[in-house]
């Protein structure tokens, strides 16, 4: 055999032999396939037994018990009902955080499923149905599947995986703290310190098998406001003897709409100011003394967020003053912008394309919905992405949206969620 032939044989043999990284990738995919039915069964169990924010006791116990079975270190009662799991790899390296939210919504389910929720409870003093109408049941089941997959290759992991099972993403009950903000405050990203964090969200906007993301601002900052317009009560037949707060409130509603449409640069980022409720008066012939309005502010740029707040204050107070009324404005800041770190996103995008197939991964526009995953991203670089779970025989217009009593998850997409989260974790640790 000549030297050239020998070298050719060696090169072809090397090319045919999978690398260490390829072998690990295959182990992850094989393990994900094995746990898929277990993930689906777990999701159905949680779906049938939903719990509202800061009350996820059954769900938390299920998570903690399963993590302990896998030999993962567990810390419970984080931010009330949160669970943090720690999987230490066999080799030194960085720490990656993987997050799943746990809570359901005060929604009465209308989907005809054998495991549909029939749970009812009290929410803010009112009896309500409870449903996983936003897919958090799928998030928990997926991350438990990821925990099982990664625990099976822990000896080959270069670093540590921290599993963040988070309560109250939809908001804590009145008068309570909760969610990602409280988890961060209680040190969930410390000891050991998380270097990067990843999360996903199921959605009916994209078909099963697809993944979508956006670098930088992907979801909006959300703030709430309350306005109390105070006029002067009088008979409805003699409005000139008083100050009509209903008319003033109507002018304020219209004035607020000019802020996103006429006063801020809409080419920089979209924004919305929405009045969701108006309450005032008790009778058709009495002009009331006051009117209360509540609403939401959505924005995708931090400076614009502050500017909109200032413009709302000016608009509300000046319109009221022009009519001889007064107005009290209270703005309560909520979730920050869900901001995907550009460098981290660029590094991990090839992993998403490899896992789902390039044709099934898309970069999408930002949405004015909000996510408290943003509190984690304020502390460490993070990447949040959409996992399509819409049945392929439905269009986005036909499918019920998240938060609908008809929201439906095509469970054939959960396996891709397990693979995507497992692979981004491993690829991040070995980069």
> Which residues are catalytically annotated?
335, 411
Chain centre to alpha carbon of residue 405: 18
| CA atoms of 287 and 265, how far apart (whole Å) | 38
- Tokens, residue 197: 């964090």
| CA atoms of 100 and 373, how far apart (whole Å) | 9
| CA atoms of 127 and 137, how far apart (whole Å) | 22
Strand ranges in 124-270 using DSSP code E only, listed in sequence order: 126-129, 158-166, 196-207, 211-213, 216-219, 221-230, 234-235
Cβ within 8 Å of residue 277, ≥6 positions away: 293, 294, 295
DSSP letters for 7-42: HHHHHHHHHHSPPHHHHHHHHHHHHHHHHHHHHHHH
- Residue 175: is the preceding peptide bond cis (ω within 30°)? no
Helix (H, G, I), strand (E, B) or coil at 371: coil
Contact by Cβ (8 Å): 107, 133: yes
Cβ within 8 Å of residue 315, ≥6 positions away: 252, 255, 256, 258, 259
Give bridge partners of residue 326 from the DSSP assignment: 230
Rg (CA), the chain: 25
**H or E element at residue 245:** helix 245-258
DSSP H helices in 263-413: 302-322, 342-356, 374-379
| Ramachandran quadrant class, 22 (left: phi over 0; alpha: psi -120 to 50; beta: rest) | alpha
**β 158-166/326-333 pair status:** unpaired
């Amino acid at each position: 055999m000549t030297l050239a032939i020998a070298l050719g044989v060696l090169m072809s043999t090397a090319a045919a032999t999978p690398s260490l990284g390829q072998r690990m990738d295959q182990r992850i995919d094989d393990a994900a396939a094995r746990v898929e039915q277990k993930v689906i069964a777990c999701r159905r169990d949680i779906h049938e037994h939903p719990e509202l924010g800061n009350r996820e006791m059954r769900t938390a116990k299920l998570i903690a018990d399963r993590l302990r079975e896998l030999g993962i270190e567990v810390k419970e009662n984080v931010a009330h009902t949160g669970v943090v799991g720690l999987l230490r790899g066999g080799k030194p390296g960085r720490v990656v955080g993987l997050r799943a939210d746990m809570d359901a919504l005060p929604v009465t389910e209308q989907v005809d499923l054998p495991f549909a929720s029939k749970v009812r409870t009290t929410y803010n003093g009112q009896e309500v149905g409870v449903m996983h109408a936003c897919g958090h049941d799928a998030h928990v089941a997926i991350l438990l599947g990821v925990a099982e997959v990664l625990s099976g290759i822990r000896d080959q992991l270069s670093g540590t995986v921290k599993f963040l099972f988070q309560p109250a993403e939809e908001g804590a009950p009145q008068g309570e703290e909760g969610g990602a903000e409280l988890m961060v405050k209680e040190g969930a990203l410390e000891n050991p310190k998380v270097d990067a964090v990843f999360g996903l969200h199921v959605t009916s906007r994209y078909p099963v098998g697809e993944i979508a993301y956006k670098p930088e601002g992907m979801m909006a900052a959300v703030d709430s406001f309350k306005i109390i317009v105070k006029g002067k009560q009088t008979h409805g037949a003699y409005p000139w003897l008083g100050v009509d707060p209903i008319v003033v409130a109507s002018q304020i509603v219209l004035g607020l709409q000019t802020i996103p449409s006429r006063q801020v640069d809409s080419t920089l980022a979209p924004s919305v100011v929405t009045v969701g409720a108006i309450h005032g008066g008790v009778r058709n012939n009495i002009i009331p003394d006051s009117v209360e309005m509540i609403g939401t502010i959505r924005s995708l740029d931090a400076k614009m967020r502050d500017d909109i707040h200032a413009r709302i204050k000016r608009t509300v107070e000046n319109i009221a003053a022009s009519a001889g009324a007064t107005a009290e404005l209270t703005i309560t800041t909520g979730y920050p912008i869900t901001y995907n770190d550009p460098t981290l996103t660029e590094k991990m995008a090839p992993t998403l394309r490899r896992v789902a197939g390039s044709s099934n991964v898309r970069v999408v526009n930002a949405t004015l919905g909000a996510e408290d995953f943003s509190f984690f991203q304020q502390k460490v670089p993070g990447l949040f992405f959409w996992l399509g779970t819409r049945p392929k025989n439905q269009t986005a217009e036909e499918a019920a949206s998240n938060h609908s009593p008809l929201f439906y998850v095509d469970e054939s997409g959960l396996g891709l969620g397990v693979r995507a989260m497992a692979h981004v974790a491993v690829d991040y640790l070995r980069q």
